[in-house]
Each structure stands twice: as structure tokens, then as C-alpha cells.
Structure 1
Amino acid sequence: MSGGYDLNLFASPPDCKFLCSVCHGVLKRPTRLSCSHIFCKKCILKWLARQNTCPCCRKEVQRKNMVYVNKLRRTIGHLEVKCKNAEAGCLVTCPLAHSKRHQDSCPFELVACPNEGCYARVFRSALAEHQQRCQQGGQQHCPLGCGATLGMAELAHYNCYLKLRNAWSEQQKRSQTMLQGLLQRVRKVHRASRLLRRQLAQLSHLLGDDAACPEGSAGAQSQGALEIEG
């Protein structure tokens, strides 16, 4: 990526003395080496990261001897530049040093709609009109009658049928989970009742045997008494 200013940005071709011999753009933050050659700060730092010599004369570079040429920077700042929105229709030219100030107020600058959820980008000059037409600031009811209150951005992709179907699926899953839990409880109760019936049957059988024994003993004693009397 170039470290200097794009030549197409300028209202007229800049003098060659303002050009960086590394990126061939107009010098940005001009930096002079001890050999007197001047480059963009970004360009020379990238160059020195690979080799420690001047790109022009190949003399060894001592970084501590690098200096910023502020006078040249101010001179370049007075060069006339076109607005970066020239292709969109802006005809303003201004000194490079003031281009940021113009950009912040340029009517052809694309700006985002401030309404939450609206992702439109419009010219700054048309923003007020867009905000009047933009319905995202207000709310509308779903036209399909589900009762949801939505903004325009949501309304464009809202599908209440899909939401209802997803809600129904979730409810079905919850119902299945509850049903499985109830079935497990019913099985436990059924097993417990069968065990209880078996225990009651055994208890009843035991109680029946105990009741029959005394009657048998009394009968045997009566029979023995009759035999003695006879």
C-alpha cells in the first residue's frame, strides 16, 4: 500500500520535487535521510525493514539521523486537491491540509442512517429527507396479523410463519420430554403396584394357613375323647 498521496487527488499535477521515489506518490510526512534524499515516512520505514541503505544512492542509513521535513510538509499542505467525492459530483477543491475539514461537511459524502436497524447509506445532503421517509424510527404491526410490532428493517425479512413453526417445534420437543417423564413415572407406579399385589397375596396366603391350624387340632382332640368314652 502506497505511503504517499495519490496523484489523482490533486487538482493539477504536482511538481516532481514533491514525489516519493519509493511509492511515486506525493510525499506524506516527508522524512530526510543523512544523504539528503527525502521519502514518505511509511515508505522509508518499510524499505529499511528489508535493507539498511538509501533507496536512491545506496548509502548506509543511520535511523537516528532521520529527520522530518516539516517545512516541506507545510508546503505540500497548501497544494490544491479535489474532493474525494468528485466522482459523485462534488466540484470543491481546497488545500490538502483542509481536505479533512471539507470531507466532514461535504454534501456528497456517504453517511449511515442514524435510525437503529437501518443500514442505508445516503449522501449527507439527502440524509434529512431519508430520515423523514425511513420508517425504521417508527414501528408497524406485522401485516400477516401475528401481532408483532416491527421496524422497516425487520419487516423486510420477518416471517411470522417460520417463527410460529419454530415455536411449535420447540413446544413439541418440550411436550415429548414431559410425556417421556410421565411414562417413566407410570411404569414405576405399575411396578410398585404389582409388587404390592404379590406381597398382599403372600400375606393373605399366610394368614389363611394360620387360621386353618387351630380348627384341625380341636377336631383331633374331640375324636380322641369319643374313643376313650366308648
Structure 2
Amino acid sequence: MSGGYDLNLFASPPDCNFLCSVCHGVLKRPVRLPCSHIFCKKCILRWLARQKTCPCCRKEVKRKKMVHVNKLRRTIGRLEVKCKNAEAGCSVTCPLAHRRGHQDSCPFELMACPHEGCTARVLRGALAEHRQHCPHGAQERCPLGCGATLGPVERARHNCYRELREAWSWRQERSRTLVLGLLRRMREVHRTANLVRRQLAQLGGFLEEEDAMLVGAPQGEAEATPEGSMGAEM
């Protein structure tokens, strides 16, 4: 692969001083050797991996002696280039350094349809229309991450955060109602326990009185029995 820029990329033929002697393209990340010859960094590194000499003068070269030519790089960055989508219809030209920024907004850039299951690639300028009529766009998941599957009409009015907030409020109110109901039940249980405790205390006192009466009854009856039997005999 060539290390430099393709000549067809430029709006007008670049100066011959901007060309790499290895790939014959426009210099990309130019570096200068001690012998003053300039090459693309990628090209010269690939060359030096096989031979340790300059491609032009055959002088011995050490990688540590290479120097980046940043001034030349900035000069080349100001050369006018065509958009890579020129064959598709884009007529824009811009400095080489700004080429990537234009591509990120070029209406002639091919884009993949975002609908799941659709493999179509359409121009960025026609992507919005394609999405409206895409057969795979009838149902798609909420882009905000709530997990809901929405149709075109639902997507237009879907507010993920509002629905999540309403669901959270409903759950919070339900939790508050459950807690209040639990507190009421606990108070009722507490009152019932106190009532049972009092009734048990009363029952205990009553049983003690009964036990005392039962324990004292036989002695009284024993004292009264002789007189009663004698009276009965008489």
C-alpha cells in the first residue's frame, strides 16, 4: 500500500517537491534523512526494513537520524483536495487538513440504515427519508434505553424519562401505602396483645381466688359433719 496521498485526490496537480520518491504520491507525515532527501514516514520505514540506505543516493541511513518535517507537512495540509465522494456527486473542495471534517457531514457519504435487520446503505442526505419508509423501521427499541419496542407513531410521542419517572412515582406511592398499612396492623396487634395480657391477668386472679376457696372448704365441712349427723339421727 502506498504511504502517501493519491494524486487524484487533489483538485490540481501538486508541486513535484511534494512527491515521495518511493510511492510517487504526495508526502504523508514527511521525514528528512541526513542526506536531505524527504520521504513519507511509512515508505522510508518499509524501505529501511529491507535496506539500510537512502533510496535516492544510497547513503547509509540510521533511523535515529530521521527528522520530521512539520513545516512541509502543514504546507501540504493546506493543499485543496476533492471530497472522496466526488464520483457520487459531491463537488466540495477543502484543504487536506479539513478533509475528514467534511466527510463527517458530507450528504453524499454512504450511511448504514440504523434499523435492526436492514442492510441498506444510503446517502446521508437521503437517510431521513429512507428511515421513514424502511420496512425494518416499523418496530425498534427505545433509543434512550428503557427497553420499550416502539412503532413510528409511538416513537414520535414516546418520552422514556417521563414514563420512567411516572412508574417510579407510582411504585413509591404504593410502597408508602404498604408501609402505612403495615404500621396499622402492628398497632392493632399491639392493642390485641395488651388486651389478652390484661384478660390473662384477670383470669389468673380469679383462679387464685377459686384455689383459695377450694383449699379452705374441706376443713369447714369436717367440723360441721358430726353435728349434722347427730341431728339427723335424732
Aligned to 1:94: 94
- What is the correspondence of 1:179-190 to structure 2 with a 5 Å cutoff? none
Aligned to 2:45: 45
Aligned to 1:76: 76
* Percent identity of paired positions between Structure 1 and Structure 2: 83
1:135 deviates by 1.9
List alignment gaps of at least 5 residues for structure 2.
140-234
1:62 deviates by 1.0
Q: What CA distance in whole angstroms lies between the structure 2 residues aligned with 1:14 and 1:61?
A: 28
1:66 deviates by 0.4
Aligned to 1:35: 35
Alignment deviations for residues 95-117 of structure 1 (CA, whole Å, 9 cap, x no partner): 00000000000000001001111
1:75 deviates by 0.1
Matched to 1:95, the amino acid is: P
> Does the residue aligned with 1:27 lie in a helix, a strand or coil?
coil
> Does the residue aligned with 1:98 lie in a helix, a strand or coil?
helix
Q: What CA distance in whole angstroms lies between the structure 2 residues aligned with 1:90 and 1:70?
A: 30
Alignment deviations for residues 127-177 of structure 1 (CA, whole Å, 9 cap, x no partner): 0000000021225xxxxxxxxxxxxxxxxxxxxxxxxxxxxxxxxxxxxxx
Over aligned residues, Cα RMSD in angstroms? 1.1
**TM-score using structure 1 length:** 0.60
Segments ≥4 residues shifted beyond 4 Å: none
1:5 deviates by 0.1
List alignment gaps of at least 5 residues for structure 1.
140-230
Alignment deviations for residues 18-74 of structure 1 (CA, whole Å, 9 cap, x no partner): 000000000000011011100000000000000000000000001111011000000
Aligned to 1:57: 57
- What is the correspondence of 1:211-226 to structure 2 with a 5 Å cutoff? none
**TM-score using structure 2 length:** 0.59
> Does the residue aligned with 2:5 lie in a helix, a strand or coil?
coil
> Does the residue aligned with 2:21 lie in a helix, a strand or coil?
coil
> Does the residue aligned with 1:31 lie in a helix, a strand or coil?
strand
- What is the correspondence of 1:57-206 to structure 2 with a 5 Å cutoff? 57-139=57-139
Q: What CA distance in whole angstroms lies between the structure 1 residues aligned with 2:67 and 2:119?
A: 45
